[in-house]
Amino acid sequence: MAVNMKGKDIISIHDLSREEVIQILDTAHLLKMKNKIGEIYHPLRGKTLGMIFQKASTRTRISFEVAMWQLGGYALFMSAADLQLKRGETIADTARVLCRYLDGIMIRTYAHRDVLELAEHSTVPVINGLTDLLHPCQVLSDLFTIKEKLGNLQGVNLVYIGDGNNMAHSLMFGAAKTGIRLTICSPSGYEPDKEITALAREDALKTGATINLSSDPGEAVKSADIIYTDVWASMGQEEEHRKRVEAFAQFQVNSKLLEQAGDDALVMHCLPAHRGEEITDDVVDGEKSIVFDQAENRLHVQKAILALVM
């Protein structure tokens, strides 16, 4: 039975039920098929999504903008410089005003508390396009991609190699909701947040998922179905770049590491990739890479989210 998600905020996968996650993925599949056969589907005709960007973006902006257009709606881009936030207007007041004009708000920002405050004071759904803590839309797209490639999610062995950042956090929540066996492999001092880990493990008890931590990439990938990586220094961490390159030197996803994994292991990266750092050219462009299918699916999953909540 379909779950009614109209008006629901999409801030963290932890906040979604397993049924809601599956509904997003199933809806994405339906909308992707409609798109491929050229079927026009405009459930959001006359509706407007406001998009607040306090962080730069390629995939998030373009995929949400195209998604709204393909669903018959309109996407309004707002950079930090376009709003009064930099001149002292509160997030609460911004939310109270924007929800009088818009049918939904997507925000890509630094502080996670800003998204929570925006949602608290908005009467229209708020979608987290990325914060320093979480990246739920990316991981919902990743789950869709894994299911598309492997046929299922339950029992899939997913190994994430890299920083315990917003991607690692959302992957833990996504894995926990869908029965994936996830290993987060990070160097000492760069593990994921302990509270997020504990919450994900609580969710995992309901689905048979497992959330494991490791510091040995070679051992971690031995039975991997999917090997996933991300940049070592996220936006806002540029000053730490040299230190992080040294700390993560043994955590590169390269052909040598792939030799230690199963022959059928696939490679994912949320992009942008810093080629030659966390991943090598031959891997990201190789036959095991599904990186660009993964990027495409941002469009289809975000269409599903928009259609369901708006």
Catalytic annotation, residues: 108, 135, 138, 230, 270, 298
Non-local CB neighbours of 127 within 8 Å, separated by 6+ positions: 9, 10, 11, 104, 105, 106, 107, 137, 305, 306, 309
Strand partners, 259: none
How far, in Å, CA of 292 to CA of 270, rounded? 9
Peptide bond into 272 cis (omega under 30): yes
Closest CA to 104 of 134, 147, 67: 67
Cβ-count burial 165-174 (b if 16+ within 10 Å, e if not): bbbbbbbbbb
C-alpha Rg value of the chain to the nearest Å? 19
Cβ–Cβ < 8 Å for 9, 66:
no
